Structure 1
Amino acid sequence: MDFSRVELSAEDADFRDRVRKFLDTHVTDDVRRRDRETGDNFDEGVHLAMGAEGWLAAELDTGADGGMTRVQRRIWDLERRRVHVPWVTWGTTVIVAKSVEQFGSPELREEVLPRVRSGAVRLCLGYTEPDGGSDIATSKTRAVRDGNQWIINGAKMFTTGAHNCQYVFLITNTAPEARKHKSLTMFLVPLDTPGIEIQGIRTVDGDRTNIVYYTDVRIDDKYRLGEVNDGWRVLMEPLSTEHGIVDMAADGLQDVSIMIHQGTIMATSADRATAIAARRGPDGRRLLDDGSVAYRLGRSIARMEAALSTPNMFGRVAIAQAMRDISPDLMDILGPASVLPIGAEGAADDGGAEYIYRWAPLCGIYGGTLEVFRNLIAQHVLGLGRPHYAPPKAV
């Protein structure tokens, strides 16, 4: 929703102004530059300032509990995107905090949740394994009980934000002989525990993620979430949230799909390319005067608009696929200078098309590959059978 076209109440207009003042003060050009250089999608100074001024607590609470109203939450979401707040680590923190609230012991909730609200504690996701693919239920990371403690051994891949977090929401195998969905137990593991090693990995789009090794990591049973071997139930809600499999609210104030942030950046890049194509060169001609350019640009924008309007889990597939489809066309239209990255002298559109070209493959594997989501849609929405990958039998 574009709130520039909505007449806000005096209370909501004041809220918007306070949000803008806070963000413009703390999310500076230096913050955005540092985020591009590190690829962290996190800035501790900004995060702690949000905690100190109550913005994080307001995110976690409903309007009835003293948090943001639905309209205010929508304003907040749009304004932080406007200034490009480094946000990924808070996103994972919110997902995990809800599970801690629901499944954690009173002792664990008291240890973690107040410091989540202040910004001192951040939480990340320990799902995928180096050779596990998207089927996280096949976890081979083992947790073995030893009295009132557990000993964990294994490795997790793509644990984004681990180097800026204090705990990891870790899926482990505690019953190797059981069926895969009955063999899992979830833990909230302190990342400063001896035996944990975090190694950074840079992705092609410049972001940093991590591989995390667990070697004889010993934790108390109080860090277990839910019952032993019932981890799949603990995991269901956060996994559905990450996948975007959530019901739409009746008021229409939530994102159309979970990938709308990435889609908005794609739209900004397309807008810049369109403005450049409509600009007259020294000879008075525009790129748009070439019919093939106008056709390809129009086709790209139509694909993008359709993707941005696609809801729920379907939207995450449509947006990621649209990024893959249109970014090469945008770069080709803009010419050789489009390969220069953000901040480079002479970049055609300040590196926008080049960035989404590199980002598109990553968006197609966030939370699971596009193929996984297409299979989910086929099975659970269209009622088709499960895919069968076994080689054909020899005749």
Structure 2
Amino acid sequence: MDLNFTPEEEAFRAEVRQFLKDNLPEELTTKVRNGLEFTKEDIEQWHAILQSRNWLAATWPVEHGGPGWNATQRHIFDEERSLANAPTVVPFGVGMLGPVLLKFGTEEQKATILPRILDGTDWWCQGYSEPGAGSDLASLKTRAIRDGDDYIINGQKTWTTLGQHADKIFCLVRTSTEGKPQEGISFILVDIDTPGIEMRPIRLLEGGYEVNEVFFTDVRVPASNMVGEENQGWTIAKYLLTHERTGIAGVGYSTQALIELRALAKKLKRRGKPLAEDPIFMSRVAEIEIDLEAMRITNLRMLSGGGAMGTVSSMLKVKGTVIRQAINDLARRALGPAACPFPSEEVLGNLAVAPPEAANNAASYFNNRKLSIFGGSNEIQRNIITKELFMG
């Protein structure tokens, strides 16, 4: 489809394609294509490859080690990365904390922390959600009480993605109980090796280990680890979540997933004919394709205005996750019995589906149910959109 990219933008697209062709390891594309779990070493390898070109921190300015890309270049890179079956970048350091420090951090925090994110010295995870504070994040109860030059933290965080690999965590903590709940929250950086921190794994429905719960018991953290002013955390949290929700839209991911779904439909047969000739199934594919095209255009319109903020990021998050889950669902339906977590060779043989194409479909389907929950559930995002657009 012609989206009227400029010659310079198309030249950049060609540069990205060549870089991926020359530098993307085949073993990583195989894992992406088949929905296999990445090791910490896999992720560190990919981050190092990108950083060798200063392409790791796509949103950062050149003076802080980023590529200095504009919003359209970031869109092109993400789209080409997805089409090449390259891994995503783990966002917590480069995509979340980095932009927060660039906007709210002290010069010392920027000079100390940002280079360590880029070279892989520090691995960050996110401490936002709690057992009683997920979408209603303002009700969080983890406390940080000032004690001289330190804060003492007590509480619990949950759904901490890839925390088992991390050595640092950025947290929202309650530093005041006065006024509205949002007014008493602060944003603080914590070393996971600090005494009093315990991380416990949470096993997911498909059996994977991706998230954790984290317990803080009298954890002493230097006051200099506070980002921004005390009780400014809600403003910082909203800024960070805008970046997270825009990324969750996953235009490039859905584009590649739809290509693979169409290829699968040509290979599978129903009643002696390829599934690609089934009018009901293909009408569902067409509906998703139309929605994806509309979202891509909306995303590009947003980029032309300088980036996603406010309700736009919420709309992209809602629509993007609905589309991604719809593609997962259609792939599961197409595979039928072969979509089970551990299909037998007999089942796979009867359906003429190679094991790599089917063996992890159920795991991907179940895992991606989370997309409409994290980053602020879709129900909450719809409330935000309604309030801001129709209620002022």
TM-score, reference length from structure 1: 0.78
Alignment of 1:86-235 (within 5 A): 86-90=87-91, 92-204=93-205, 206=208, 208-235=210-237
Deviation at 1:58, TM superposition (A): 6.2
1:6, 1:49 → 2: CA distance?
27
1:113 deviation in Å?
1.1
Say whether residues 1:359 and 2:367 are aligned partners.
Answer: yes
Say if 1:360 and 1:43 are closer, same or farther in 2 by CA, change over 3 A. closer
Counterpart amino acid of 2:135? Answer: S
Give 1:1-395 correspondences, 5 Å limit.
Answer: 12=12, 15-16=15-16, 18-25=18-25, 28=28, 32=32, 36-37=36-37, 43-56=43-56, 60-61=60-61, 67-70=67-70, 72-90=73-91, 92-204=93-205, 206=208, 208-244=210-246, 258-264=249-255, 266-276=257-267, 285-287=273-275, 293-310=278-295, 311=298, 312=312, 313-325=314-326, 327-339=328-340, 346=349, 348=353, 350-351=357-358, 354-383=362-391
**Partner Cα separation in structure 2 for residue 197 and residue 74 of structure 1:** 38
Amino acid at match of 2:137: I
Partner of 1:249: none
Give the AA of the match of 1:267.
Answer: L
- Cα RMSD of the aligned pairs, angstroms, is 3.8
Question: 1:50 touches 1:119 (CA, 8 Å); kept in 2?
Answer: no
Paired with 1:236 and 1:224, the residues of 2 have a C-alpha distance of 17
Cα distance change, pair 115–222 in 1 and its aligned pair in 2 (3 A): same
Specify the code of the residue in structure 1 equivalent to 2:281.
R
Which 10-residue stretch deviates more, 358-367 or 345-354? 345-354
Contact 1:331–1:354 under 8 Å retained in 2: yes
DSSP 3-state at the match of 2:56:
helix
Cα offset, 1:224, TM superposition: 0.3
Could you list the per-position Cα deviations for residues 175-214 of structure 1 after superposition, in whole angstroms to 9, with x for gaps in the alignment? Answer: 1243201111110112222222222223335461121111
Q: Which amino acid counterpart does residue 372 of structure 1 have in structure 2?
A: I
- Give the C-alpha shift of residue 303 in structure 1: 3.2
Question: 1:68-95 CA distances to partner (integer Å, 9 max, x unpaired)?
Answer: 5446544432332234333352355322
| Unaligned ranges ≥5, structure 2 | 299-311
SS of equivalent to 1:36: coil
Q: 1:82 to 1:355 in 2, by over 3 A?
A: farther
Shift of 1:330: 4.3
Identity across aligned pairs (percent)?
A: 26
Task: Give the direction of change, closer, same or farther, for the CA distance of 1:27–1:82 in structure 2 (3 Å limit).
Answer: farther
Higher alpha-carbon deviation: 374-383 or 125-134: 374-383
Q: Is the 8 A contact 1:19 1:76 kept in 2?
A: no
Structure 1 alignment gaps of length 5 or more: 245-254, 385-395
Aligned AA (2:78): D
- State the 1:142 CA deviation: 0.5
Q: Tell me, in whole angstroms, the C-alpha distance in 2 between the residues paired with 1:73 and 1:149.
A: 39
Once the two structures are overlaid, the 10-residue window that deviates more, 124-133 or 50-59, is 50-59
**Partner amino acid, structure 2, of 1:264:** T
Report the residue type matching 1:358 in the other structure. F
The one-letter amino acid paired with 2:102 is: E
Please state whether the residue corresponding to 1:204 is helix, strand or coil.
Answer: coil
Count of aligned residue pairs for this structure pair: 367
Q: 1: distance between equivalents of 2:163 and 2:228?
A: 22
Alpha-carbon distance in 2 for matches of 1:334, 1:323: 17
One-letter code of the match for 1:373?
Q
Cα pair 2:93 2:117 within 8 Å, conserved: no
8 Å CA contact 2:265–2:274 kept in 1: the answer is: no
d(CA) in 1 for partners of 2:361, 2:160: 27
The alignment partner of 1:145 has SS state of: strand
Change in Cα spacing, 1:12 to 1:34, as seen in structure 2 (3 Å) is closer
1:114-149 per-residue CA deviation (whole Å, 9 max, x = no partner) reads 112222223222100022231111110000110010
- Amino acid of the structure 2 residue aligned with 1:309: A
Contact 2:145 2:153 in 1 (8 A): yes
Which moves more between the two structures, 164-173 or 141-150? 164-173
CA 92–374 in structure 1, closer or farther in 2 if over 3 Å, else same? farther
Residue 86 of structure 1 aligns to a residue whose secondary structure is coil
Shift of 1:109: 2.2
Q: CA deviation at 1:8?
A: 6.0
TM-superposed CA distance for 1:46, in Å, is 2.3
Post-superposition shift, 1:322? Answer: 3.9
Q: Distance in 2 between matches of 1:64 and 1:198?
A: 32
Aligned equivalents of 1:125, 1:6: Cα separation in 2: 37
Aligned residue in 1 for 2:307: none
Question: Residue deviations 1:268-316, cap 9 Å, x none?
Answer: 4431343235x698x6x44455xxx412331243134314523442232
Residues 124 and 169 in structure 1, CA contact (< 8 A), matched pair in contact too: yes
State the alpha-carbon separation in 1 of the partners of residues 344 and 76 from structure 2.
29
Higher relative contact order (CA 8 A, sep 6+): 2
Give the 3-state SS of the residue equivalent to 1:121 in structure 2. coil
Tell me, in whole angstroms, the C-alpha distance in 1 between the residues paired with 2:280 and 2:10. Answer: 45
Letter in 1 for 2:23: L
Which letter maps to 2:383?
N
SS at match of 1:43: helix
